[in-house]
Structure 1
Amino acid sequence: MNWNLHFLGVGAAHAVELGSSAVVLERDGAPLLLIDCGPDTLDRYIAAYGEPPRALYITHTHMDHVGGMERLFFRLWFDEQWRGRTRLFIHAGLMTWLQTRVADYPNALAEGGVNFWEAFRLVTCTRGFWLDGHWFDVFATRHHMAGTSYGVALAGSFVYTGDTRPVPEVLARVGAGEELIAHDCGLIGNPSHTGIDDIEREYPESLRRRLRLYHYGSEADGAALQARGYTIARAGDRIALPAPGPLRPDAG
C-alpha cells in the first residue's frame, strides 16, 4: 500500500500565487483526507480528483483555511449523491468559531429551509478521530490565541502542523518516529508563525531532516529556505510517506 501527501497549495495568506495551504492524504493514489479548505482549495481538489472530498479536516478557522467551505456547501447540497456524505472533522473547541465564520449567515439558501451543516457529516473530536480504520491524532498548536488551532498526525506516517509557532514538546510525542513533518515556516517568524531561525533554535537536526516546509511568503522566500538547506513543498508536489505504524498507546 502506497501513501502520499499531495500539496494543493503552500502559501501564506498573502501569497495567493502559491495557493492556499492545503494537503490531501492519498492511499494507493486515491484521496483519503483533505486538510483545510481555503478559497481556491476546492477548485484544485476537483481538478486533481474529479469529485468533492469525502473527508475534510479543518486545522483552524482563518479564512485562508476555511474560505472555500461555502462553495463546498453548494457543491454538496445540490448533488443528492453527495449531500450529507462528506465527513468534516474538527476539534470541538473550534465549532463556535467555525459556526460564526461560515454557517451563521441567515438562510444558507435564499429560499430558506436548509441548515448549513446538513450538507456535511459533521464529526467533532478532541484527542483525534477514526477514518477508514486509521486513528488520526489531533494536537494543539501555537497560532494566535491558545485553543484556536490544531494539527493532525497519522502515527508512523506524517504530521501536519497547520499554522503554528514551534511546538517541540508536541512533535516529541506525535512525530517521535520517522514521520514526515509538514511544518509552517516562513523566512522570518512572527508571533503567529514559525521562521527559519525558530526551526534552527527549537528543533534538533534529527527532526529537521524530516521537515517539509510550507506556508512561506513567496517563491523567493521558498528559494531562500532551500538555500539554507531545507526542503520546501511546492503546489502540486506528491511526497511519498512511510506506511502508518501501530496505534499510539493513548489512541482511540
Structure 2
Amino acid sequence: MKRRRLFAAWSYGCYAWLVFALVMLSFGSLVSLLQSPRHGRLVARAGTRLLFRLAGMPVSAYGMERLPHTQHILLVNHASFVDGLALTALLPARPGYAFVVRQQYASQGLLYPLLRGLGTVVLNRSHHNDATNVDLLKAALRHGKSLIVFPEGGFAPETGLKAFHSGAFIAAIAEDVPIVVAGLRGARKALRPGTWLPRRTAIELEIGPVLPPHGVDALQELQLRMAAHQAMLPLTGEEDAGA
C-alpha cells in the first residue's frame, strides 16, 4: 500500500510538471513575445487557469468584492512557488497587478522576458526596506500601477506568517495608496518549500480588509504594518511566526 501511494504521488507530480512545462511553453512564450502587460496579463490568466484545471487543483477566491476599483497595494502571504501562479489565475487581469519580485528571479534568463511582459517590478537583492527598493515601489505607484507584494519577503519550509518588511508600507504612506490584505491557503501543501513534488490540493484566496495609509512618520508606518499582519493572520490558516 505504501509503495502504491508513493507511485501515485510521483506519477501525479510528473504529470503536473509536464502540464506546467506545456503551459509555460505556449502561454509563457506568448507573454514574452507580446511584451505588453495589458495583453500579457490576460494571456497569463488564461494559461494559469488552464494549468490548475488540467492539474486537478481547484482554485477559488472569496471576498473579491472588497478589492478597490482604484489603485492599491495587495499584500499576500508567501508560502510556495505556486503563490504567483494562483494569484495570476484568480485575480482580475484588467486593469491587473504588477508583481513585486526580487532580482534573483529576474536575473534568470528565461524568466526575465516573461516578467517584463507582465510589467513586473524588480527589487534589488537587499531587504525590502532598502531606500532604493522603496523608491522603486514609489515610482511604480506614481505610474498608476497596482502592486502585489509579499511582505514577508521570501518563504521558508516552516509554517507560519513571518514578520513583514516595511518597504510597501513606507511607499503606501508616501504615495497615499491604500493597502489591501489577502491570504492564500493551500499553496504550501501544493508545493512545499524544499521539495519539487507537487501535490493535488485545493488553493483558496481570501480578500481581507482595506487599510488606508495614515501619516508620514515611522510610528504610523509601524502601526500600519502591525495592523496588516494582524488582519492577514486569520486569512492564511497558519500560526503567527512574526515574533
Structure 1 and Structure 2 fold alike (TM over 0.5): no
TM-score, length-scaled by structure 2 = 0.33
Give the number of the structure whose residues are more often helix, by fraction: 2
RCO (CA 8 Å, sep 6+): is it higher in 1 or 2? 2
